[in-house]
Structure 1
Amino acid sequence: MNFCKAISTALLLIATGATFAQNQILTVTSPDKRIALTISAADKKLSYTVKADNFPIINKSPLGLVADGTDLGNNTRITGQPQRSSVNESYAVIGNHTKAINRANEAYIPYTAAGKPMALFVRVYNDGVAVRYTIAPGIKHIDAERTTWTLPNNVKKIAWADFHQSYEGLNYVTPLAEVPEGKVVMPPLTFQSGKYYVSLTEADCESFADMALTRSGNAFTVAYPFAAKGWNVIQPSKSIYLNGTYKGKLVSPWRTTLIARSLTELVNSDLITNLCPPPAKGSDFSWVKPGRSLWQWWSVGAPKFEDQKNWYDAAAKLTWEYYLVDDGWRNWKQEGKDQWQLLKEVIDYGNTVGVKSLVWVDSKEFRKAPERRAYLQKVKEAGAVGIKIDFIPDADADIMQWYAETQQDCAQLKLLLNFHGSVKTTGLNRTYPNDITREAIRGNEYHMTKYKRVMPPQHDITVPFTRYLSGPADFTSVILDPKELATAKFTWPHEFAQAIVYTSPIIHFADKYQLYLENPMVDLFKQVPTTWDETRVLSCSSMGDVVAFARRKGTSWWIGVMNGADEREVKIPLNFLSAPTKATLVYDGETNTSVDKREQTVSPKDVLTIKLRSSGGFVAKL
């Protein structure tokens, strides 16, 4: 009987294999069967399509690398049945919620291209798909990439960002036709089509150059602006955990398509971190603690040694956990003492008032491993718990390995890590949770009168649906100085809402400490969390117009609303509450630097009606 079953199974596999070899098409579906990724080599060109509920998300689009002068997406043939597997796990996260569910169907698909043995790894989730390439033995140089996303014809609007070396370009929401053709734009890029929100980016970039995109018609294709001539393949190092391999094979990063049926699903997706490796076995990141940080550079410039106690004292009064000693400390000198001794003195003082220290450094101090480890060790010995690394070179493949090495060194030394002047995260904060936030965003450094910089309001309300989809970002939120807010007339509630809407497990508040301590919202500044148990995007939100988040921490709900350039009225049902509760409600005041603050009881049946000024906002704690 068993022998007959074995023969039947073998015959079935042979028949299926023959049909598959003839058609050169295969489909992988999500665990809930709603999303389908189809891979094809039927015309000897590797391509794919994506559908959700049979609705076209990505039309037929090319796949393939160009390596050693050969297009490895042409003259292709799938050479065997896919090796199918599944992913089913959960893990703790800090940010929008507390636990990520990682459930997907995966397939390993062997193919040949120009005679080279290649393969695709694909994963299909209930909220998206991802594709990555294996790098065949003998390939020496990556020239380019053909991976493309061909959008459907009914795109309503699209959110995208200008090219910038460290992702500090402006973000926009426009019709598809207004995205510049032939020019580099920076992902994540998010579009609305039918009832879906779809976002395109990459995950688990370890030893490839950073990925950007260029548009041609409805199609966006991978570009490497920081490695225009390509790069020599980096062979895996056993000393680096993130060494560019997956299941023992040298691979490209994942090319990702996030698919959501609502803005709440979009911002809560864990697709990008799900595609990254877990921490190395035996790792302990229980020491990684989120919190709020004072920071003096934006408001007063370089830190003065004799002024540091005032900043630590202010952080303690605000009950904030951190203070960042920014650029300028390396110039401190006193008779008989160098900058390191003085740095230790101020850090020691911070510890006496219960405030931990983060320290700024220029990346040129440690581009190579021995110097990096020695410098980080000195920071650790000075008593700091974290480091902010700035002015990082263009993200070619070598620099992406430098990021991985730095993450590893900081983890081993138990140092929190904040990359500034950097590229976007690609989910590797899952692997190294000490990589707790990073810049790679046009934040409040681009709203400063001394540099004649003014931020347009649309940028603020777009980034939750672009850059923040790839991971936490250090926007350096909450400007309160009336002089700095005079240009665009951002309101105080709008600014405070940044701390609620923008995900950053450590928030570096931009302004002078006096402006927080003397503000009518000081009680809320002392309480606002930086990580959340639950996140909802409220129904009044619209990409490019207004953004409103409700976030829960424990039994408290916080609401943050930021408006764009046009005055509007929005309604917020409080049906996410479970019972009547006391509430602090902060509306725009008569001027942009005043507030209308109210205390009242609200219930799940209530609907708040909020009139928003141009560049206005609203904040509530319930």
Structure 2
Amino acid sequence: MLRKFIGRNFNILFYKGLMETLQMRFMSLLLFAMLLFTCYQGYSQKLTRLTSPDGSIEYVFQLKNHLPEYSVFYKRIALIKNSGLGWAFKEKGSLRYNLKVLTVSISEGTESYKLPLGKTSSVNAHYKQLIIPLEERKVNGRKLNLIVRAFNDGLAFRYEVPVQKNWQAFTLTDEDTQFKLEGDPKVRALFLPNYTTSHEGEYSYLALSKVKEDTLMDMPALFEFPGNTYMAITEAALLDFAGMYLCKQNGVLRSMLSPLPGQQDLKVKARLPHQSPWRVLMISDRIGSLIETNILTTLSPPCKLKDVSWIWPGKTTFPWWNGSIIPDTTFAPGNNFENNQYYIDFCARNGLEYHTVVESCGHEWYTNDGEGYQPGAHADVTKPVSGIDMKQICDYAKSKGVGVRVWVHWKALYPQLDTAFVVFEKWGLSGMMVDFMDRDDQEMVNIQEEILQKAAAHKLHIQYHGAYKPTGLSRTYPNEITREGTLNYEVNKWEKRITPDHDLNIIFTRMLAGPTDYHLGGFRAVPDSLFKVQYTRPLQLGTRCHMLAMYVVLENYLGMVCDYPAAYEGQPGFEFLKMVPTVWDETKVLEAKVGEYIVIARRKGNDWFIGALTGHKGRVIKFDCNFLGKGTWETTTFSDTEDAGINPNKVDKQIKMIAPNAHIEFKLASGGGAVMHIVKK
């Protein structure tokens, strides 16, 4: 009995103690969970996610301690983590702290449109969109919307200040956008000393950790992550805002806005509602995807011109580059009708669309009392220098089926903008190169848009030089026919800096933003050891086939033919230069390795044009023609010869018949290239 009594009580005590222990543990777990929940509520809000239509790209947003942060993943691997967002204003300080999220909305859409000028003629881009309304956690707190769009080949976000009470206008002093990149990706970018720049320089290639602090990084900048994942950062739809740069501060990349002239603190002045350009991340594990994408035009406003039938792409002379060379003749060289007639006749004989009137003997075609092409106090773009009758030149060119363009300094043009465009239209000009912009602050951005708008009213196209990157506005204003912003072959007139490797750097960086103007067409290639600076008849590094391939590889709707007529006519390869288009219906990158080589196929109508480039290293490149339709195709190939190292201007031309599944092999010399024209038979 005693044993049963002790056993029964022992069991009662045991179970009672066990229950008390379990209860204490449960309460402890409950308190711990409540503590975690409290901490989570204090420091972080639930995650808001947006994925691309194919699910490969993911954007994640959260408020952490009431501060907005975002992360970006590609195929579940982080590229950007916990990066801050926000704006700072002169009037009421930063709009970033102590925020709350209002009702979030997610939608889906497709942008379908035609491009009069582009690397493709039709675009059909599917995307998902997220709108995150943010509001300060105080009475009558300010509001700021974050708009995010995810595509299969990239991601973009922008800030929007909506209409709200007690706030009509703002002065932006800073944009607090961070890009905290994961790991230590390699960077390929152009570094600049300050915001006053023509955006012309050599590109650097280094690890992000080696980038100097507080140094401006131009955009687009390309970042290479492990596993061959590529991300380019740039912007789209730059309108009524300051241009953006990147800068590493305390180890983190952040946005930097170009300040308004005359000071450093104020960046943007605007009335509500107002929005920033899109901050664009092009993302893929195939570098060719970043070249093929139309994300920048897709993010830009639709075309604002009712009639675009008058906008012709094509190729143009630019005699300044060669020194305005003419043959021995009865007429004197200089700013006169006969000199321009000589170049117009060259265009008419060879199917070139435009002749550009620039200067002669160091003086512009228009009246100017300044020096070095800079406008003087009495510069007047409506008054040609003695000896030039612009109406006569335009009438003669029109009779030959050739358009006439002019070069002009923007500071000489802008004060006379309305008057000048009326006069230019009466003369019969087709367009102009507007040069020496050298800024991308809000004032200059607005000036460039104003020039485009007013030029379109007079059926004039614009080619911007010494200008910032494209931001997709060739969709909005198709009369923006191309942009420079590159260190290119014009430099061969005074320095030895432009190499085949530099060309490839441009293709994998600056060209990601869109049309990339170069002084193309130098037909005097020499080996590196024989190169010398010549202001007239400049020399070229790289083979002639490398030069031919630049017309296909570069996206550029107005290709220059910069040399003088006798340098081309009768020369090997000129027949390809005459036939190659400058706008395309379709673009495919067949093979590419960043900084080393690229093969691009572009279609115009039923014809395909292929361009292949290499840097200093010669190589054999192989690719398939499975992009061709059924049937038999005739190929005409222009390629480097075996002795290209000694005779870089020699061209091997071959004509062959191929099937759509053919395997093609190009043997490229050092600094070489190859082109192919494919026609269905």
Tell me the TM-score normalized by structure 2.
Answer: 0.80
Matches of 1:23 and 1:139 in 2, distance apart?
30
Residue matched to 1:199: 232
Residue matched to 1:255: 279
301, 304, 317: which one pairs with 2:335? Answer: 304
Residue matched to 1:145: 175
Contact conserved, 2:318 with 2:560, CA < 8 A, in 1?
Answer: yes
Matches of 2:552 and 2:182 in 1, distance apart?
34
Matches of 2:653 and 2:638 in 1, distance apart?
4
Residue matched to 2:119: 96
Contact conserved, 2:235 with 2:279, CA < 8 A, in 1?
Answer: yes
Residue matched to 1:506: 558
1:189 positional shift:
0.9
152, 155, 159: which one pairs with 2:188? Answer: 159
Residue matched to 1:558: 609
1:340 positional shift:
9.7
1:184 aligned onto 2:211: no
1:387 positional shift:
1.6
Matches of 1:362 and 1:153 in 2, distance apart?
45
Contact conserved, 1:209 with 1:226, CA < 8 A, in 2?
Answer: yes
Contact conserved, 1:180 with 1:215, CA < 8 A, in 2?
Answer: yes
3-state SS, counterpart of residue 354 of structure 1 = coil
Residue matched to 2:544: 492
Q: 1:234 is matched by which residue type in structure 2?
A: K
**Relative to structure 2, which stretch is displaced further, 378-387 or 451-460?**
451-460
Matches of 2:545 and 2:525 in 1, distance apart?
13
1:480 aligned onto 2:523: yes
1:354 aligned onto 2:401: yes
Q: 2:454 is matched by which residue type in structure 1?
A: D
Q: Percent of counterpart pairs with the same letter?
A: 28
**Relative to structure 2, which stretch is displaced further, 29-38 or 399-408?**
29-38
1:400 positional shift:
0.9
The CA deviation string for residues 201-256 of structure 1, in whole angstroms up to 9 with x for no partner, is: 111111222111113576421123555723364335xxxxxxxxxxx821111111
Residue matched to 2:365: 329
**Relative to structure 2, which stretch is displaced further, 270-279 or 257-266?**
257-266
3-state SS, counterpart of residue 585 of structure 1 = strand
Matches of 1:351 and 1:231 in 2, distance apart?
48
CA RMSD of aligned residues (A): 2.8
Q: How does 1:390-469 map to 2 (within 5 A)?
A: 390-448=435-493, 451-469=494-512
Residue matched to 2:156: 130
Matches of 1:560 and 1:319 in 2, distance apart?
21
1:507 positional shift:
0.8
1:20 positional shift:
13
Matches of 2:172 and 2:342 in 1, distance apart?
52
1:295 aligned onto 2:327: no
Residue matched to 2:29: none
Contact conserved, 1:130 with 1:257, CA < 8 A, in 2?
Answer: yes
Q: 2:456 is matched by which residue type in structure 1?
A: A
Matches of 2:676 and 2:449 in 1, distance apart?
39
1:363 positional shift:
0.7
Contact conserved, 2:315 with 2:560, CA < 8 A, in 1?
Answer: yes
3-state SS, counterpart of residue 48 of structure 2 = strand
Matches of 1:256 and 1:388 in 2, distance apart?
28
Matches of 1:20 and 1:424 in 2, distance apart?
42
Q: 2:125 is matched by which residue type in structure 1?
A: N
Residue matched to 2:47: 25
Residue matched to 1:537: 589
Residue matched to 1:471: 514
Matches of 1:435 and 1:29 in 2, distance apart?
33
Matches of 2:42 and 2:607 in 1, distance apart?
55
Contact conserved, 2:356 with 2:405, CA < 8 A, in 1?
Answer: yes
The CA deviation string for residues 480-532 of structure 1, in whole angstroms up to 9 with x for no partner, is: 12469843631000011111000111111222222221211122122111111
Matches of 1:172 and 1:501 in 2, distance apart?
21
Q: 2:399 is matched by which residue type in structure 1?
A: T
Contact conserved, 1:188 with 1:201, CA < 8 A, in 2?
Answer: yes
3-state SS, counterpart of residue 436 of structure 1 = strand
Matches of 1:357 and 1:411 in 2, distance apart?
16
1:419 positional shift:
0.9
Matches of 1:586 and 1:217 in 2, distance apart?
51
Residue matched to 2:131: 108
Distance 1:214 1:51, change over 3 A: same
Contact conserved, 2:404 with 2:429, CA < 8 A, in 1?
Answer: yes
Matches of 2:73 and 2:464 in 1, distance apart?
36
Matches of 2:355 and 2:279 in 1, distance apart?
37
Unaligned runs of 5+ in 2: 1-39, 326-333, 369-379, 532-539
Larger Rg: 2
1:527 aligned onto 2:579: yes
Matches of 1:367 and 1:417 in 2, distance apart?
13
Q: 2:580 is matched by which residue type in structure 1?
A: V
3-state SS, counterpart of residue 64 of structure 2 = coil
Residue matched to 2:256: 223
Q: 2:307 is matched by which residue type in structure 1?
A: D
Matches of 1:314 and 1:381 in 2, distance apart?
25
1:71 positional shift:
5.8
Distance 1:584 1:338, change over 3 A: same
Matches of 1:605 and 1:32 in 2, distance apart?
29
Matches of 1:28 and 1:19 in 2, distance apart?
22
Distance 1:490 1:304, change over 3 A: farther
Distance 1:581 1:337, change over 3 A: closer
Contact conserved, 1:446 with 1:455, CA < 8 A, in 2?
Answer: yes
Q: 1:543 is matched by which residue type in structure 2?
A: V
Contact conserved, 1:468 with 1:503, CA < 8 A, in 2?
Answer: yes
1:288 positional shift:
1.5
3-state SS, counterpart of residue 384 of structure 1 = coil
Distance 1:22 1:496, change over 3 A: closer
Residue matched to 2:33: none
The CA deviation string for residues 152-185 of structure 1, in whole angstroms up to 9 with x for no partner, is: 2263x43212327121121244443454442112
3-state SS, counterpart of residue 152 of structure 1 = coil
The CA deviation string for residues 426-449 of structure 1, in whole angstroms up to 9 with x for no partner, is: 11111101111111122211222x
52, 65, 73: which one pairs with 1:51? Answer: 73
3-state SS, counterpart of residue 72 of structure 1 = strand
Residue matched to 2:650: 594
Matches of 2:85 and 2:44 in 1, distance apart?
20
49, 62, 65: which one pairs with 1:40? Answer: 62
Matches of 2:601 and 2:205 in 1, distance apart?
22
Contact conserved, 1:516 with 1:525, CA < 8 A, in 2?
Answer: no
3-state SS, counterpart of residue 450 of structure 2 = helix
Matches of 1:68 and 1:253 in 2, distance apart?
20
Residue matched to 1:244: none
Matches of 1:230 and 1:187 in 2, distance apart?
21
Distance 1:489 1:304, change over 3 A: same
Distance 1:489 1:392, change over 3 A: closer
1:609 positional shift:
3.0
Distance 1:544 1:233, change over 3 A: closer
Q: 1:329 is matched by which residue type in structure 2?
A: W
